Structure 1
Amino acid sequence: MKGDEQPHTQRTGAPLLRSLWYRSRKEARDDVEAGRSITMPTQTVVPPLQQVIKRLVMAMTVLVITVMIVYFDRAGYTDNSDGSVDFIDAAYYATVTLSTTGYGDITPVSDSARLINIFVITPLRVLFLIILVGTTLEVLTERTRQQVRIHRWRSRTRNHVVVIGYGTKGRHAVRTLVGQGIGKDRIVVVDAQSKAVTAAGDDGLVAISGDATLTDTLLKAELQRASQVIVAPQRDETATLITLTARQLNRRATIVVAVREDENVPLLKQSGADTVVTSSSSAGRLLGTFMASPPTARTLEDLMTLGSGLDLIERTVTPEEVGRTPRECDDLVLAIVRDRKRLDYAVGWQTELRAGDRVIAVSRPVTETAE
């Protein structure tokens, strides 16, 4: 059967490349239509009922203050019906005045009452109207605030990490990055699924909704200024096209791609990927290790999962470690990174550490160490 009749069949080599270019740009745009938007990290939102109650209390407070002001100065007012103003008349006057109805049956006649209307009741009227239209004002303010946040984010985003695909692989990649000390403000997620974009926003990340195979979507993520790109979509052909587009936009960024099949690795590297991780072969190796030696497999799983017991980390050499050998460090050092070259366990074990070196070491989580 043809590949178009089996959407989940992996294509390799020339068939995979042909399937990429047969996909028209119009179809790609139709997939996401109006979904290309920037979602900033979710902030704490006051529940709607609580907002309504708060505004109602504020409005009633303003009304009560106005009633008391008019009642205590009732001698300066006149009622066209009987000439005097009692408490009910004061409440009535305050209500029609704050709502800007103003029937004119009760009016201030003394100088003090008129001055109070000018300098006190008029500002209260304005405040009352602001409370009444608070919902509309809040929507406009939130929209403006969102635009300001996006503009500020664009102006300061440099050397960040773009994670394309916020599925299982993408989420675990983000968790690992955060566990390694990379701030969430330096991570940008791109996904075509609205649920994934919402989840990324709830996790405190900036998220872009759109098709990552399109240049416009990647430009919204400021990929041209990123230092690292993680490509983790659901399909290998999509990963190839994303890698081609990303490499065209950014020649210097490190691009790491996750694919399912080993046959697609050479094509991904030709497309510009620096590193290609094959999920199926990695899972197969872990399964084989579990069968041969379960303790070894569990140790590997601990090393790959931050905070689970043992962490495999890369860190800068501390001033106290300068001049010492890796054997003398508190952590178990597996390799030294010096001048962008890796000195492994056998070569670097007797080497003295220098300022500026980085070590790849096995350590325990900070919480466990503190205990």
Structure 2
Amino acid sequence: VISLTTVGYGDIVPVTERARLIDAIILTPARLIVWLVFVGIAFELFFHKGLERIRMMRLQRKLSDHIIICGYGHSGRTAAAELVNRGTDREHVVVIDTDDALLKNSAEAGHIGLRGDATLQRTLQDAGVDRAAAIIVATGRDDTNALVILTIRQLNPKIRVISAVREEENGPLLRQAGADTTVTPSRLAGYLLADSVTHRHINDFVLDVLSSGGRLLLVERAATESEIGQRAGVVDGVMVLRILREGKPVGFWEPQATIAAGDTLLALQPAAA
């Protein structure tokens, strides 16, 4: 401190009252400021990060079967909000992003925000990727999405991975990297835009079906015992549109559209059902 404030080691000292006054008014507060800077840096480097690490360790022990969202842009925010609307606990949605403003938005929405690079193993481990139920990758760049997916697969080969795709041609590459499902928002938007040229109500119907706040819900579920043996179509008040049997789709209009044990159904049902 003596060297920093250049007051000397005793060979040069203030002897006049004016010099002593300057030392008391200017140099003493300067010493305090320097100490405060040192304490602030020490707190940031050691105490704050240490407390943050302890908080993350406690958080990780509590997290299980949660959803991780890599990227809290428009797609990530919409996905998080829809997950909550469909019954997911807000605190079971973990958001990874490098933007402090977006992380603040995620915290205000009740989610757990984690600042970091989702392409790094340490970041995904902090988010509990080994215990998560699924992970949504929506960083805004297809190349970054691919790196994130490859890193995820190294840490958890079995987790369900859903990735957004900006360029449709990159879809197969992301699936090859390990994505279970890829979604191209621009492609869906293009379909709806083109269809709205000649139709007035289909766009509203599709959005109604896709959103949890609509009057209808499009659900995917296993066939129940009461449905086995019945034809697809209107079954017990539910519209069975498609049967998935051994990985192959069967439409409700096809001759073989009789529901069998082990079938997976895609059905429309009232939101209150």
Runs of 4+ that moved beyond 6 A: 143-149, 338-341
Distance, in Å, in 2 between the alignment partners of 1:195 and 1:269 is 31
Alignment partner of 1:230 out of 121, 126, 136: 136
Length-normalised TM-score, structure 1: 0.52
Kindly state the Cα deviation for residue 156 of structure 1 after the two structures are TM-superposed: 3.7
**Aligned amino acid, residue 184 of structure 1:** R
Structure 1: how far apart are the matches of 2:155 and 2:202? 42
Partner secondary structure for residue 197 of structure 2: helix
Residue among 158, 167, 175 paired with 1:252: 158
Q: What CA deviation, in whole Å up to 9, does each residue of 1:146-182 have, x standing for no partner?
A: 8887544322423322111111101111222233333
Alignment of 1:40-59 (within 5 A): none
Q: Please tell me whether the aligned partners of residues 166 and 191 of structure 1 are also in contact (alpha carbons under 8 angstroms).
A: yes
User: Equivalents in 1 of 2:197, 2:69: separation in Å?
Assistant: 33
Higher relative contact order, structure no. (Cα contacts within 8 Å, ≥ 6 residues apart): 1
- Equivalent positions of 1:1-371 (< 5 A) are 150-315=56-221, 321-323=226-228, 325=230, 326=232, 327-336=234-243, 343-346=250-253, 349-351=257-259, 359-366=265-272
Q: Aligned residues, how many?
A: 222
Runs of 5+ in structure 1 lacking a partner? 1-142
Report the CA distance shift for 1:180/1:344 in structure 2 as closer, same or farther (over 3 A): farther
Is the CA contact 1:314–1:360 (under 8 Å) kept in the aligned structure 2? yes
- Deviation track 1:174-195 (CA, whole Å, cap 9, x = no partner) reads 2222333333343221111112
Residue identity over aligned pairs, in percent, reads 34
Partner SS for 1:294: coil
Q: Secondary structure at the match of 2:173?
A: helix
Alpha-carbon displacement from aligned partner over 1:69-128 (angstroms, at most 9, x marks no partner): xxxxxxxxxxxxxxxxxxxxxxxxxxxxxxxxxxxxxxxxxxxxxxxxxxxxxxxxxxxx
With the length of structure 2 as denominator, give the TM-score of the two structures.
0.69
Bigger radius of gyration, 1 or 2? 1
Shift of 1:222: 0.9
Kept after mapping to 1: 8 A contact 2:164/2:183: yes
Contact preservation (8 Å) 1:255, 1:273: yes
CA distance in 2, matches of 1:300, 1:191: 30
Give the match's secondary structure for 1:291.
coil
More strand by share: 2
| Residues 171 and 193 of structure 1, relative CA distance in 2, 3 Å threshold | same
- Conserved 8 A contact 1:180-1:313: no
Q: Which amino acid aligns with 2:239?
A: L
Flag the structure with higher helix content: 1
5+ residue gaps, structure 2, are: 1-48
